[in-house]
Amino acid sequence: MRFSGKTCIVTGGGSGIGRATCLRMAAEGGRIVVVDLHQDSAQATVDQIHTAGGEATAATANVGDPAEVQAVIKQAVSLYGEIGVIVNDAAMMTFTPIVDISEDDFWSVIKVNLGSVFYFSKYGARQMPPGSAIVNLSSVHAHKTTPNVVPYASSKGAIEAFTRGFSIEMLAKKIRVNAIAPGAVDTPMLWNNPNVKSGAEKVTGAVGKPEDLAAAICFLASDDAAFVNGTTLIVDGGRLAQL
Ligand SMILES: NC(=O)c1ccc[n+]([C@@H]2O[C@H](COP(=O)([O-])OP(=O)(O)OC[C@H]3O[C@@H](n4cnc5c(N)ncnc54)[C@H](O)[C@@H]3O)[C@@H](O)[C@H]2O)c1
């Protein structure tokens, strides 16, 4: 029971990797704050946790909005007490070339993907005791990519640099900060990607399950990873290793 009595905030908890992480952390004793843009999907995750005998609450928020992020943190602390784990999982993609994408659409991706990591770090760390952990979701797109997803790839590359730098700032507070870079994972985000649909991005042979990622996220979030800090763990079934 690695998360017994710990308040765990998981963004994007209404689907895919985020939902699998919520379920695994709750099964290991965590009190989960399931954050999602969509109230019904966050609530569906909460319902699954309750059915399994766990503890959870839903928080509807746009994680790219600092006021909404602060409201989530306030809700989590007032309900469950100080925060032990934050998983920054929620993200979005666009599929428009840089020369055609609007400025607003470009900055929306950066704000949701990178801004959320900034806001939950800035406002969340103040509520985290020594021994707490933050896990940020990057992507293999931070390392190798395909056309038309530059805002997404940029946000993920920045998340890895943010993770490294913020981990150093948190050393004195004894809060560990790590990232996970998933490869292709069987979730709506993967199969809705037009590059995957067209075959421009090949995923054959190395598609993980959301539970595979949840296992790695829970490792980094737990004391099992007490000596792991400031790093990005690539969890892609070996996809990046193959030329
Ligand atoms: N699935 C993959 O193949 C894959 C690969 C690499 C990285 N990732 C990363 O893993 C993470 C989870 O992806 P997934 O595949 O589980 O996606 P998903 O689409 O299944 O779930 C994402 C969830 O985030 C929520 N969300 C999106 N924007 C939000 C916002 N502004 N505020 C609050 N919630 C918001 C969505 O409502 C959804 O429930 C993302 O950071 C993604 O970039 C996924």
**pLDDT tens digits for 77-112?**
999 999 999 999 999 999 999 999 999 999 999 999
Q: Is 64 in the pocket of ligand 1 (CB under 6 A)?
A: yes
Token pair belonging to 100: 């055609």
Q: Does residue 228 carry a pLDDT above 80?
A: yes
What would the mean pLDDT of 205-228 be, rounded to a whole number?
96
Q: pTM above the 0.85 mark?
A: yes
What would the mean pLDDT of 196-219 be, rounded to a whole number?
90
Catalytic: 152? yes
Q: Does residue 32 carry a pLDDT above 90?
A: yes
Give the pLDDT band (50/70/90) at residue 195.
confident
Percent of the chain clearing pLDDT 90 (strictly above): 91
Q: What pLDDT is stored for residue 206 in this prediction?
A: 84
What would the mean pLDDT of 34-56 be, rounded to a whole number?
98
Q: List the residue whose alpha carbon is closest to atom 24 of ligand 1.
A: 12
Counting other chains too, the contacts that 69-72 makes at CB distance below 8 Å and 24 or more residues apart are 69/116, 69/119, 69/120, 69/123, 70/119, 70/123, 72/9, 72/33, 72/35
Of all atoms in ligand 1, which is nearest to the CA of residue 20?
16
Q: Candidates 143, 187, 236: which one to mutate for ligand 1, based on the most atoms within 8 Å of Cβ?
A: 187
Is residue 3 a contact partner of residue 85, using CB atoms and an 8 Å limit?
yes
Q: List the residue whose alpha carbon is closest to atom 1 of ligand 1.
A: 185
Cα–Cα distance, 133 to 36 (Å, whole number): 20
Q: Does residue 196 carry a pLDDT above 90?
A: no
Q: Candidates 10, 11, 15, 87: which one to mutate for ligand 1, based on the most atoms within 8 Å of Cβ?
A: 15
Q: Does residue 203 carry a pLDDT above 90?
A: no
Q: Hunting for tokens 């900060």 — which residue is that?
A: 177
CATH for the 7-235 domain, from 2.40.110.10, 3.40.190.10, 3.40.720.10, 3.40.50.720: 3.40.50.720
Of 195 and 147, the structure prediction assigns the larger pLDDT to: 147
Q: Does residue 127 carry a pLDDT above 90?
A: yes
Q: Does residue 153 carry a pLDDT above 80?
A: yes
Q: Is 36 in the pocket of ligand 1 (CB under 6 A)?
A: yes
Average model confidence (pLDDT) across the chain = 96
Element (DSSP H or E) covering residue 181: strand 176-182
Q: What pLDDT is stored for residue 242 in this prediction?
A: 82
Q: What pLDDT is stored for residue 45 in this prediction?
A: 98
Q: Does residue 243 carry a pLDDT above 80?
A: no
- Tell me, in angstroms, the distance from the centre of ligand 1 to residue 165's CA: 23
What would the mean pLDDT of 7-14 be, rounded to a whole number?
98
Cα–Cα distance, 172 to 229 (Å, whole number): 13
Q: What pLDDT is stored for residue 140 in this prediction?
A: 96
Distance (Å) of CA 61 to CA 36, 75, 127, 133, 199:
6, 11, 19, 21, 33
Give the pLDDT band (50/70/90) at residue 179.
very high
